[in-house]
Every structure is written in C-alpha cells, then in structure tokens.
C-alpha cells in the first residue's frame, strides 16, 4: 500500500512538472530545447511549423504592434488582431464628442472606411541568428566594463550593417542572459496600419480598471487593424493608393474552444522580466520603489477620477492617461503581495546561501564567484537611496503634465541662444512645437493638472530629505511655507505652458530673442530644476552602479547555470519574439477559494450595473443573451465563453498575442494576467501564475452578431 502511494505521488509530481508553464523560449531554439516537452504536453505540430526560415511558418503572422504590444495576421488580406487596450490610443485619437468611437465602437463596413493611424507601425520578424561569437570577438578577461562596452558596440554596428546590406530590412542585435549571448534580429516594418474595428468600451473594456489584472474576467479586449502596402506588396508610408498586404502566412481560427488541461502556447513579444536578480534587488523593488510609486499614483488617479466623473470631455481626454497610470499602479500592488506570499526574498536568500557555499567549496570557484553575493549587497545598498530619489522624481515630478511639456521647449530655448542657428532651423522647431502643443492641449484639462501638482509636490516634500529634492522644489516649499495650493494657483495662472491661447500667440510671433520669455517662465524654471536634479544628482550615480551591476549580473547568470546544471534556463524577456507554453488550468487564489478556468456571458449579466460606468451592458448584447443567439460561436454546452486562463508564462508586451492550440490554430487572444500571479516578472509560481485570454469565439460573436461585421469573419480561415 505504502509503495503504491509513493509511486502515485511520484507520478503526480511528474505530471505537475510537465504541465508547468514557466519560461519564455527563443523560437529558433524550440526544436532543440522544447519540442519533446511540448509534444508530451499534447502539441501536434512541430517546432518547424512555429519557426522556420526555410518555409512559411506561424512566425510570419506574428507582429510587434506599436511599441509595446503583439498582434497577429488572421486573413490573407492583412487583417490583424490585437487587444482593445493596445489599440486604445488610436481609437481615442479618432474619437470626438460627436464621433465617440471609444464609447460606441467603430466598424469599417468596407475597406474604404478603414482609418489611417499616423505614427503606428507593426513589425514582422524575418529571421533571427545567434551572433554571440561575432559580438564578443576581441573581448579579453580583465577588461573594464567601458572597454568591453566599446568593443561590443563596434561589433554590433558592423554585424547589423552587414546583415541588411542591399535590403530594406532593419537589423538589431540584442543581449541575452545579461550579455552572455547575443542574437541578431532582421525585421520588416509596416507604417500604413488602419483601424478596422473596435467594440464599444463597455465590451472592449468591460470591468475597466476595477477588473484589470483580475480573474474572473469578462473583458472583450480586442480590436482589429489592417496592414496596407504598395502595389509590390512592400511596406510604404500611408497613401490612398496602398493596397491590403498579402502575408506569407496567416493564422487559422478554431471554433473548437479549449478545455481544462488542453495544451496552449502563446507567441509574441514579452517586454521585460527579471527572473535572475539577487534577493537585494527584489527587496529594493518591493520595499523602496513600489510603495511610493503606488501611493503617488493613487493620488493622481483620485484626482483624474473626480474630474472624469463630472464631464464627458474630460473623460475622453483623460481615459488613456488614466488607464496608463492605473495599470502599473495595480500591477505593483499585486507584485508586492505575490512576492510576499511566495516568500520570494527568503527563497532567493536561501539559494544565495547555498550558492556561496558551493562556490567556496572549490578554490577556483571561490576566486571567481565567492564574493558575488556580498558584492551585490554592497552595490544595492548604494543604489537604494538613489533609486528612491529617482522613483519620486519620476512619479511625483514627471507626474505633472505641464512640467514635462514645459521641458519640451528646452531645445528651442537653447537653439535660440545659439548665434549660428539659422532662421530656418528655428522656424522648423517652432512649427513642430505648435503641432505638439495642439496635441497636448487637446487632452489637457488645467484644473486636473493643477490639483495633481499640488498633491504630488506636497507628498514629495513630505517624504524626501531636502538634499534629495530638486533645488527649486525645496526652495518654493519654503517660500510658500508648504502651502502647495497657493503655489499651484500662482504657477498655473502665470505660466505659458498651461494655457493654449497664450502659448499659441507666443509661438505665432516667435523670434530668437523670445527665448527669454521661455527662460523666465516659472514652470520652465521648475522643469529645468527637476531635470537638472536628475541629470546631475541621480543619473551619473545610478549609471555608475548599474554598470557595476551589469558586470556582476553577467557573472552571476553564468554562475547560476553552473550551479544548477540540470535546470533549463530561459533568457529574461527583452521585447524579442518568444514562445511560452502551458495548459488551460484553474487555481486556488486563497484559502477555500477556487477559480474555474473559464468565464461566460452569464458572468457579464451578473456584473451588470447600469449605474457604474465599468459595468454597463449594451442593450444589443443583452438581447443576444436573452435570445441565446450565439450561432456557431457557442460552446458545446450552449454557453458563450468569454475568457479562459492557463499556465503560459507571459508579461507586459504579450498583450494581443495569439493563444494557439495543439494544432497551431487561434483559440484566444492573450490580454492580461491574474493579480495573484503578477510577481511572475520576478519569480514565477506554477501554482498561482495564470495568463488571461479572450476566447476567440466571443470575439467573432461580437464582430458578427453584435456589430454586424460578418464580412470580417468571412475573410478568416475558420476551423469548425
Ligand atoms: N493589465 C493589462 C496589461 O497590463 C491591461 C491594461 C489595460 N487596461 C486597463 N484597464 N488599464 O496591459
Ligand atoms: N496586459 C499586459 C500587456 O499589455 C499583459 C500582461 O502584463 O500580462 O501586455
């Protein structure tokens, strides 16, 4: 009996292990490192079907969307799918009070109605290559960090240049494993990307910031765009003559859905993780950086909120800013809780102790690695106060919109003083600033910024010693006797940079000597002082320590690999294309609470509250719910599935990534993680970390039945 139990326990453990989803893997190494495991978990396609340079593969349909999201090509006419929150900025920019696409949604009923988005681009990976040897050529032991960096820079430049000679591609070399390896990425960028469709916010952002980072989730977080190219199917700047892109490959869409334990993988652009830091770094992030950032953001959000509630215009102006500030605010809260619950710092400390013992057990190793952990400790002790000052500067100082805006006039002021500058140069700058001012004031409400200013300055002065404050902040606090409201009133009334009319007039008659007026502006003076504080008192010190830490971290990475030779190490996310895989899975977030792996339309009806902005349900959606008019998009049990969770290891940047089944067909769109698992950027816990995906059937149901844009579904390759 005992024997059977042990055997059973071992079996259970192995099953559990093979379902674990930790890791963000390099597509070109899948065959070598991951394919057997992926197949054992149920995958029916091959690593070559995912990434190949010899034949078309799934990678030809995966895009970096804008600067920080992923999108995928889902038709042979260049139709692409991403999240609503990834296209949010574009949808917002097309929205006005009369044409409020944010609230009502937008659907192009034919291609002529698709809307161009200047500044938005998508990027396709052509191929990648391990170039470690070339990049590290000439590096010798004992070189200083600066010498090393210079050689790497030169080698990188040469490698990138050679790689794209005679092509219209771009090339970029990126470090992996803290500079122990280097990979080259050849990419193609498309600049004519048009908005095709977005659901109304009460679908695309259902649950809003209240449900953000949480499970159970009911957000229809998707939007659609289309890539346009010139007549030769090549990337081109926007032109009405451009035509839809014909991709090398597009992803088939499955209507079969997923069930618990089904294999899934996520293919996209995770932004950044830091899984191999020492305990001191985790302590600094969670104890020194996150708490003030959380508190300062909370203050800003409270002020945004009170004004957005009162005015539709302010709501449109600040919705995107609100989402941005709220997102990381909530993430940091979750991360801190997760780190504590996981005892992550203690776990790292225990490993560090074992590591040092292992290092010191051998004379050779002792010399190489024996002093690493103490070196980290002393570097982080020095970095702590600097990073605290930096957190305040970013979250309090740069939290003021007019302050950042005022500083953007710095170059104009400098150029104007430069006698050798031509009138032409100045005019160009002025024209540019006029247009940036227009953009700034379109989404600016002075009373919001004024209240934010008073609140953030008060917090900054209260929590930081005088030496850690920018000179001007410290001085004005004394002048105004800590009456931040009076300071705010006077500053916002006097400055050019808080008043569209005054600023326009000023720019309209700008002459070289007008720089004096910029330099005399109280907001400009304050902004100068804040930025100078950063450039003279913070950045040089933090850079110096960062350089030291880079070198320690590079050695520590290599050492960890030697110390745990049986562990499979994956490189931290760095905004390059990765594959992560796991299974559809539920979890227990806390004692006695169980979370199922999927949500349904019933849950939307449960959450409905017409009096709360985030929980309004569209009448049309209710009608479809009441008549159960789900068509072919219903699950086998007749329900409408909204979202599902799994153990795929994802992070910021993975939003919009395709979630694929064992056959490489699209079953979902990744858009978030659960709150209990947001510490996965620092330490992954297979028990608690889940990625949240939109069920593709809900997306198609909304496009087809709700929006009446079935022609888009017709474009796709459906697998029923
Ligand atoms: N938490 C998701 C991610 O990190 C979605 C953020 C956008 N939504 C929001 N309510 N702010 O990006
Ligand atoms: N919502 C995130 C994104 O925008 C995804 C995540 O952090 O899990 O990329």
Residue 13 reports pLDDT greater than 50: no
Residue 6 reports pLDDT greater than 60: no
Residues 261 and 311 in one domain: no
Q: What confidence score (pLDDT) does residue 497 get?
A: 98
Q: Between vectors from CA 17 to CA 12 and to CA 23, what angle results, nearest 5°? A: 165
Instruction: Report whether residue 327 contacts ligand 1, using a CB cutoff of 6 Å.
Output: yes
Q: What is the arithmetic mean of pLDDT over 500-518?
A: 96
Boundary (domain end) residue, out of 496, 527, 561: 561
Let me know: does 195 contact 108? Beta carbons within 8 Å. yes
Distance CA 128, CA 266 (A): 18
Q: What confidence score (pLDDT) does residue 316 get?
A: 86
- What SS3 state is found at 417? helix
- The pTM score is 0.93
Q: Specify if 427 maps to a domain.
A: yes
* Rg (the chain; Cα; Å): 27
Q: What confidence score (pLDDT) does residue 20 get?
A: 65
Q: What confidence score (pLDDT) does residue 453 get?
A: 98
Of the pLDDT bands very low, low, confident and very high (cuts 50, 70, 90), residue 5 is very low
Residue 17 reports pLDDT greater than 60: no
Boundary (domain end) residue, out of 533, 561, 589: 561
Q: What is the pLDDT of residues 632-668, one digit of tens each?
A: 999 999 999 999 999 999 999 999 999 999 999 999 9
The ligand placed nearest to the CA atom of residue 323 is 1
Q: Specify if 307 maps to a domain.
A: yes
The ligand placed nearest to the CA atom of residue 677 is 2
Judge whether 655 counts as a catalytic residue. Answer: yes
Residues 539 and 393 in one domain: yes
Strand partners, 107: 197
Residues 399 and 438 in one domain: yes
- Among 95-109, 327-341, 440-454, the minimum mean pLDDT is found in 95-109
Q: What confidence score (pLDDT) does residue 185 get?
A: 98
Residue 9 reports pLDDT greater than 80: no
Q: What is the arithmetic mean of pLDDT over 600-613?
A: 96
**Nearest atom (ligand 1) to Cα of 328:** 4
Boundary (domain end) residue, out of 534, 561, 588: 561
DSSP secondary structure letter of residue 339: H
| Nearest one of 41, 12, 37 to 570, comparing CA atoms | 37
Cβ neighbors of 634 (< 8 A, separation 6 or more) are 628, 640, 697
Q: Specify if 501 maps to a domain.
A: yes
Of the pLDDT bands very low, low, confident and very high (cuts 50, 70, 90), residue 67 is confident
Quote the domain boundaries for residue 306.
279-561
Q: What is the arithmetic mean of pLDDT over 540-566?
A: 96
Residues 236 and 288 in one domain: no
Q: What confidence score (pLDDT) does residue 540 get?
A: 97
Cβ neighbors of 206 (< 8 A, separation 6 or more) are 218, 219, 220, 604, 607, 614, 615
Residue 12 reports pLDDT greater than 60: no
Distance CA 494, CA 515 (A): 17
Q: What is the pLDDT of residues 229-240, one digit of tens each?
A: 999 999 999 999
Instruction: Report whether residue 323 contacts ligand 1, using a CB cutoff of 6 Å.
Output: yes
Residues 524 and 556 in one domain: yes
Residues 427 and 465 in one domain: yes
Q: What is the pLDDT of residues 257-268, one digit of tens each?
A: 999 999 999 999
423 φ, ψ to 5°? Answer: -60, -35
Percentage of residues in the chain having pLDDT higher than 70: 97
Instruction: Report whether residue 672 contacts ligand 1, using a CB cutoff of 6 Å.
Output: yes
Residue 8 reports pLDDT greater than 50: no
Residue 616: CATH number of its domain: 2.40.10.120
Q: What is the pLDDT of residues 165-206, one digit of tens each?
A: 999 999 999 999 999 999 999 999 999 999 999 999 999 999
Catalytic residue, chosen from 57, 60, 75, 85, is 85
CA nearest ligand 1 atom 3, residue: 672
Cβ neighbors of 204 (< 8 A, separation 6 or more) are 84, 85, 105, 198, 219, 220, 221, 222, 223
The ligand placed nearest to the CA atom of residue 693 is 2
**Nearest atom (ligand 2) to Cα of 331:** 7
Q: Which residues line ligand 2 (CB under 6 A)?
A: 650-655, 671-673
DSSP secondary structure letter of residue 29: G
Residue 719 reports pLDDT greater than 50: yes
Q: What share of the chain is helix, strand, coil (3-state, %, to 5)?
A: 55, 15, 30
Q: What confidence score (pLDDT) does residue 126 get?
A: 98
Tell how far the Cα of 271 is from the centroid of ligand 1, in angstroms.
Answer: 14
Instruction: Report whether residue 297 contacts ligand 1, using a CB cutoff of 6 Å.
Output: no
Strands 181-190 and 62-65: unpaired
Q: What is the pLDDT of residues 363-404, one digit of tens each?
A: 999 999 999 999 999 999 999 999 999 999 999 999 999 999
**Nearest atom (ligand 1) to Cα of 655:** 12
Tell how far the Cα of 7 is from the centroid of ligand 1, in angstroms.
Answer: 44
Residues 211 and 330 in one domain: no
Q: What is the arithmetic mean of pLDDT over 339-347?
A: 98
Residue 706 reports pLDDT greater than 50: yes
**Nearest atom (ligand 2) to Cα of 673:** 8
Q: Specify if 500 maps to a domain.
A: yes
Tell how far the Cα of 331 is from the centroid of ligand 1, in angstroms.
Answer: 9
Q: What is the pLDDT of residues 44-58, one digit of tens each?
A: 999 999 999 999 999
* N residues, the chain: 720
Residues 518 and 634 in one domain: no
How many separate domains does the chain show?
Answer: 2
Q: Specify if 148 maps to a domain.
A: no
Q: What confidence score (pLDDT) does residue 97 get?
A: 81
Q: Specify if 143 maps to a domain.
A: no
CA nearest ligand 1 atom 11, residue: 323
Mutation pick for ligand 2 pocket among 65, 671, 677 (CB with most ligand atoms within 8 Å)? 671
Of the pLDDT bands very low, low, confident and very high (cuts 50, 70, 90), residue 481 is very high
Q: What confidence score (pLDDT) does residue 95 get?
A: 86
Mean pLDDT of the chain: 95
Judge whether 221 counts as a catalytic residue. Answer: yes
Catalytic residue, chosen from 60, 211, 221, 262, is 221
Q: What is the arithmetic mean of pLDDT over 62-83?
A: 97
Q: What is the pLDDT of residues 286-337, one digit of tens each?
A: 999 999 999 999 999 999 999 999 999 999 899 889 999 999 999 999 999 9
Judge whether 94 counts as a catalytic residue. Answer: no
Tell how far the Cα of 45 is from the centroid of ligand 1, in angstroms.
Answer: 32
Q: Specify if 688 maps to a domain.
A: yes
| Nearest one of 597, 589, 577 to 691, comparing CA atoms | 597
Residues 533 and 606 in one domain: no
**Nearest atom (ligand 1) to Cα of 326:** 11
Q: What confidence score (pLDDT) does residue 261 get?
A: 97
Residues 303 and 383 in one domain: yes
Of the pLDDT bands very low, low, confident and very high (cuts 50, 70, 90), residue 224 is very high
Mutation pick for ligand 1 pocket among 82, 655, 693 (CB with most ligand atoms within 8 Å)? 655
Residues 22 and 45 in one domain: yes
Q: What confidence score (pLDDT) does residue 19 get?
A: 55
Q: Specify if 133 maps to a domain.
A: no
Residues 588 and 707 in one domain: yes
Tell how far the Cα of 249 is from the centroid of ligand 1, in angstroms.
Answer: 29
Tell how far the Cα of 268 is from the centroid of ligand 2, in angstroms.
Answer: 11
Q: What confidence score (pLDDT) does residue 3 get?
A: 45
């Amino acid at each position: 009996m005992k024997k059977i139990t042990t055997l059973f326990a071992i079996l259970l453990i192995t099953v559990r292990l093979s379902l674990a989803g930790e890791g963000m893997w390099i597509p070109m190494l899948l065959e070598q490192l991951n394919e057997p495991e992926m197949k054992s978990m149920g995958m029916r396609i091959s690593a070559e079907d995912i990434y190949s340079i010899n034949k078309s593969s799934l990678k030809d349909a995966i895009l970096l969307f804008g600067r920080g999201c992923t999108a995928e090509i889902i038709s042979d006419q260049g139709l692409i799918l991403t999240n609503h929150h990834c296209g949010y900025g574009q949808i917002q920019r097309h929205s006005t009070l009369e044409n409020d696409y944010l609230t009502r949604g937008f659907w192009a009923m034919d291609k002529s109605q698709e809307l161009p988005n200047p500044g938005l681009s998508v990027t396709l990976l052509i191929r990648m290559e391990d170039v470690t040897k070339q990049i590290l050529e000439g590096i010798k032991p004992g070189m200083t960090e600066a010498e090393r960096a210079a050689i790497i820079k030169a080698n990188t430049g040469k490698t990138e240049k050679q790689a794209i000679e005679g092509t219209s591609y771009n090339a970029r070399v990126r470090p992996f494993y803290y500079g122990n390896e280097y990979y080259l990425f050849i990419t193609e960028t498309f600049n004519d990307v048009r908005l095709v469709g977005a659901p109304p916010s009460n679908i695309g952002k259902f649950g809003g910031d209240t449900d953000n980072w949480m499970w159970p989730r009911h957000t229809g977080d998707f939007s659609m765009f289309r890539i346009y190219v010139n007549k030769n199917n090549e990337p081109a700047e926007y032109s009405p003559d451009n035509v839809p892109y014909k991709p090398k490959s597009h992803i088939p869409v499955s209507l079969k859905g997923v069930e618990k334990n089904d294999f899934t993988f996520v293919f996209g652009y995770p932004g950044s993780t830091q899984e191999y830091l020492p305990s001191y770094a985790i302590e600094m992030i969670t104890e020194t950086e996150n708490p003030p950032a959380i508190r300062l953001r909370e203050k800003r959000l409270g002020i945004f909120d009170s004004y957005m509630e009162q005015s539709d215009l302010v709501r449109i102006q600040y919705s995107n800013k609100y989402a941005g500030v709220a997102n990381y605010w909530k993430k940091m809260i979750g991360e801190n809780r997760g780190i504590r619950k996981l005892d992550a710092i203690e776990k790292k400390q225990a490993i560090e102790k074992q590591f040092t013992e292992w290092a010191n057990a051998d004379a050779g190793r002792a010399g190489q690695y024996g002093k690493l952990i103490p070196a980290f400790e002393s570097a982080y002790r020095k970095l702590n106060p600097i990073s605290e000052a930096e957190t305040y500067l970013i979250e309090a100082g740069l939290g003021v919109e007019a302050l950042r805006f005022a500083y953007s006039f710095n170059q104009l002021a400098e150029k104007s003083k430069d006698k050798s500058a031509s009138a032409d140069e100045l005019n160009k700058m002025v024209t540019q600033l006029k247009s940036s001012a227009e953009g700034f004031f379109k989404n600016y409400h002075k009373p919001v910024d004024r209240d934010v200013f008073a609140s953030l300055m008060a917090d900054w002065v209260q929590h930081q010693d005088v030496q850690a404050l920018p000179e001007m902040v410290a001085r004005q606090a004394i002048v105004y006797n800590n009456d931040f409201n009076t300071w705010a009133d006077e500053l916002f009334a006097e400055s050019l940079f808080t008043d569209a009319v005054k600023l326009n007039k000023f720019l309209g008659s700008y002459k070289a000597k007008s720089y004096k007026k910029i330099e005399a502006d109280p907001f400009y003076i304050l902004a100068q002082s804040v930025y100078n504080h950063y450039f003279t008192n913070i950045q040089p010190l933090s850079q110096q320590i960062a350089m030291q830490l880079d070198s320690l971290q590079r050695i520590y990475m290599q050492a960890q690999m030697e110390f745990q030779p049986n562990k499979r190490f994956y490189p931290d996310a760095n905004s390059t294309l990765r594959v992560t895989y796991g299974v559809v899975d539920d979890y227990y977030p806390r004692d006695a609470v169980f979370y199922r792996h999927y949500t349904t339309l019933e849950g939307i009806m449960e959450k409905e509250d017409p009096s709360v902005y985030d929980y309004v349900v569209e009448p049309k959606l209710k009608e479809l719910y009441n008549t159960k008019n789900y068509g072919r998009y219903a699950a086998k049990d007749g329900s409408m599935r909204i979202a599902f969770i799994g153990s795929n290891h994802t992070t910021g940047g993975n939003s919009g990534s395709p979630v694929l089944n064992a056959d490489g067909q699209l079953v979902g769109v990744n858009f978030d993680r659960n709150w209990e698992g947001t510490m996965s950027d620092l330490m992954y816990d297979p028990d608690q970390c889940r990625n949240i995906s939109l069920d593709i059937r809900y997306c198609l149901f909304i496009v087809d039945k709700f929006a009446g844009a079935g022609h888009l579904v017709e474009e796709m390759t459906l697998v029923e």
